[in-house]
Amino acid sequence: MPDRAIPLATRRALLLAAPILGLGLSPRRALAAPEIYTATLSSLAADGHDVVAFHTDGKPTLGSARFTHAWKDATWRFASASARDAFAAAPDRYAPSYGGHCSWAASQGYRASGDPRHWRIVDGRLFFNYDARVHRTWLTDIPGFIAAADRNWPKLL
Protein backbone atom coordinates (compact mmCIF):
# COMPACT_ATOMS: atom_id res chain seq x y z
CA MET A 1 0.00 0.00 0.00
CA PRO A 2 1.53 3.40 -0.93
CA ASP A 3 2.43 5.77 1.93
CA ARG A 4 -0.26 8.23 0.90
CA ALA A 5 -3.00 5.62 1.36
CA ILE A 6 -2.23 5.39 5.09
CA PRO A 7 -3.74 8.29 7.05
CA LEU A 8 -1.12 10.67 8.47
CA ALA A 9 -2.20 10.09 12.08
CA THR A 10 -1.83 6.33 11.60
CA ARG A 11 1.63 6.72 10.04
CA ARG A 12 2.77 8.90 12.94
CA ALA A 13 1.36 6.45 15.52
CA LEU A 14 3.15 3.54 13.82
CA LEU A 15 6.39 5.48 13.67
CA LEU A 16 6.23 6.32 17.37
CA ALA A 17 5.31 2.73 18.28
CA ALA A 18 7.98 1.07 16.09
CA PRO A 19 10.75 1.03 18.72
CA ILE A 20 8.36 -0.24 21.40
CA LEU A 21 7.06 -2.98 19.14
CA GLY A 22 10.58 -3.93 18.08
CA LEU A 23 9.92 -3.16 14.44
CA GLY A 24 13.31 -1.50 14.01
CA LEU A 25 11.93 0.97 11.51
CA SER A 26 13.67 4.26 10.90
CA PRO A 27 11.62 7.39 10.19
CA ARG A 28 13.09 7.57 6.68
CA ARG A 29 12.24 3.98 5.80
CA ALA A 30 9.05 3.44 7.74
CA LEU A 31 7.03 6.59 7.42
CA ALA A 32 8.43 9.73 5.97
CA ALA A 33 7.72 12.54 8.42
CA PRO A 34 6.48 15.79 6.92
CA GLU A 35 9.06 18.54 6.51
CA ILE A 36 6.85 21.10 8.23
CA TYR A 37 6.03 20.45 11.88
CA THR A 38 2.30 20.38 12.59
CA ALA A 39 0.61 19.14 15.72
CA THR A 40 -0.83 15.63 15.57
CA LEU A 41 -4.11 15.53 13.64
CA SER A 42 -3.61 19.09 12.45
CA SER A 43 -2.20 20.57 9.28
CA LEU A 44 -1.55 23.96 10.92
CA ALA A 45 2.04 25.11 10.70
CA ALA A 46 3.54 27.09 13.60
CA ASP A 47 0.58 26.10 15.78
CA GLY A 48 -1.51 28.63 13.86
CA HIS A 49 0.85 31.54 14.50
CA ASP A 50 1.51 34.19 11.86
CA VAL A 51 5.18 33.59 11.00
CA VAL A 52 5.43 36.94 9.21
CA ALA A 53 4.53 38.72 12.46
CA PHE A 54 7.65 37.35 14.16
CA HIS A 55 9.66 39.30 11.58
CA THR A 56 7.52 42.43 11.38
CA ASP A 57 6.07 42.78 14.89
CA GLY A 58 8.74 40.95 16.88
CA LYS A 59 6.28 38.78 18.77
CA PRO A 60 4.15 35.64 18.44
CA THR A 61 0.77 36.51 16.94
CA LEU A 62 -1.99 34.03 16.27
CA GLY A 63 -3.19 33.91 12.69
CA SER A 64 -6.79 33.84 11.54
CA ALA A 65 -8.68 31.16 9.63
CA ARG A 66 -9.67 34.03 7.30
CA PHE A 67 -6.09 34.45 6.04
CA THR A 68 -4.43 31.16 5.08
CA HIS A 69 -1.92 29.85 2.60
CA ALA A 70 -1.05 26.24 1.75
CA TRP A 71 2.66 25.49 1.43
CA LYS A 72 4.65 22.26 1.83
CA ASP A 73 1.64 20.17 2.84
CA ALA A 74 0.75 22.52 5.70
CA THR A 75 -1.75 25.31 6.26
CA TRP A 76 -0.24 28.60 7.38
CA ARG A 77 -2.39 31.21 9.12
CA PHE A 78 -1.83 34.94 9.17
CA ALA A 79 -3.22 37.91 11.07
CA SER A 80 -3.84 39.90 7.88
CA ALA A 81 -4.11 39.59 4.13
CA SER A 82 -0.89 41.57 3.72
CA ALA A 83 1.03 39.10 5.93
CA ARG A 84 -0.44 36.18 3.97
CA ASP A 85 0.56 37.80 0.69
CA ALA A 86 4.10 38.51 1.94
CA PHE A 87 4.49 34.86 2.93
CA ALA A 88 3.05 33.59 -0.36
CA ALA A 89 5.56 35.73 -2.26
CA ALA A 90 8.58 34.52 -0.24
CA PRO A 91 7.78 31.58 2.06
CA ASP A 92 11.43 30.60 2.56
CA ARG A 93 12.09 34.08 3.94
CA TYR A 94 9.42 33.82 6.66
CA ALA A 95 8.99 30.11 7.43
CA PRO A 96 10.77 28.85 10.53
CA SER A 97 14.04 27.03 10.03
CA TYR A 98 13.93 23.24 10.09
CA GLY A 99 10.25 23.30 9.18
CA GLY A 100 9.31 24.64 12.62
CA HIS A 101 10.86 21.68 14.43
CA CYS A 102 12.99 22.34 17.50
CA SER A 103 16.27 23.97 16.48
CA TRP A 104 18.21 22.52 19.38
CA ALA A 105 16.93 18.99 18.67
CA ALA A 106 17.98 19.36 15.03
CA SER A 107 21.45 20.35 16.25
CA GLN A 108 21.54 17.10 18.23
CA GLY A 109 20.51 15.02 15.22
CA TYR A 110 16.82 14.37 15.82
CA ARG A 111 13.41 15.96 15.34
CA ALA A 112 11.20 17.34 18.08
CA SER A 113 8.25 19.67 18.03
CA GLY A 114 8.92 23.38 17.93
CA ASP A 115 6.92 25.79 20.06
CA PRO A 116 6.37 29.30 18.65
CA ARG A 117 6.39 30.69 22.20
CA HIS A 118 10.12 29.86 22.39
CA TRP A 119 11.59 31.59 19.38
CA ARG A 120 14.38 33.80 18.13
CA ILE A 121 15.26 35.47 14.84
CA VAL A 122 18.96 35.22 13.98
CA ASP A 123 20.34 36.75 10.79
CA GLY A 124 16.80 36.96 9.39
CA ARG A 125 15.97 33.30 10.13
CA LEU A 126 13.18 32.28 12.49
CA PHE A 127 13.93 29.46 14.94
CA PHE A 128 11.61 27.60 17.34
CA ASN A 129 12.60 25.44 20.29
CA TYR A 130 10.76 22.72 22.17
CA ASP A 131 10.21 24.55 25.47
CA ALA A 132 11.69 27.27 27.72
CA ARG A 133 14.39 24.98 29.18
CA VAL A 134 15.59 23.83 25.75
CA HIS A 135 15.43 27.42 24.49
CA ARG A 136 17.70 28.57 27.35
CA THR A 137 20.18 25.83 26.41
CA TRP A 138 20.04 26.86 22.74
CA LEU A 139 20.77 30.47 23.72
CA THR A 140 24.11 29.42 25.26
CA ASP A 141 25.67 28.74 21.82
CA ILE A 142 23.33 29.93 19.09
CA PRO A 143 25.96 29.96 16.28
CA GLY A 144 27.23 26.50 17.21
CA PHE A 145 23.77 24.97 17.47
CA ILE A 146 22.67 26.57 14.18
CA ALA A 147 25.76 25.24 12.40
CA ALA A 148 25.16 21.73 13.78
CA ALA A 149 21.45 21.85 12.91
CA ASP A 150 22.20 23.08 9.39
CA ARG A 151 24.52 20.08 8.93
CA ASN A 152 22.02 17.62 10.43
CA TRP A 153 18.78 18.85 8.88
CA PRO A 154 19.24 17.33 5.39
CA LYS A 155 19.68 13.90 7.02
CA LEU A 156 16.55 14.43 9.12
CA LEU A 157 14.27 15.13 6.16
Tens of pLDDT, residue by residue over 84-107, are 999 999 999 999 999 999 999 999
More confident residue, 2 or 100: 100
Mean pLDDT, the chain, whole residue set: 86
Closest CA to 67 of 44, 96, 97: 44
pLDDT: is 41 or 101 the higher one? 101
Residue 147 dihedral angles phi and psi, to the nearest 5°: -60, -45
Q: In the predicted model, is pLDDT for residue 5 greater than 60?
A: no
Whether 130 has a pLDDT exceeding 60, the answer reads yes
What is the torsion angle, in degrees rounded to the nearest 10, for the CA atoms of residue 141, residue 152, residue 122 and residue 100?
-120
**3 has a pLDDT exceeding 80:** no
Q: What's the pLDDT band for 41 if we cut at 50, 70, 90? A: confident
State the Cα torsion 144-149-150-151 to the nearest 10°.
90
C-alpha span between 105 and 129 (Å, rounded): 8
Spatial contact of 94 and 52, defined as CB atoms under 8 Å apart: yes
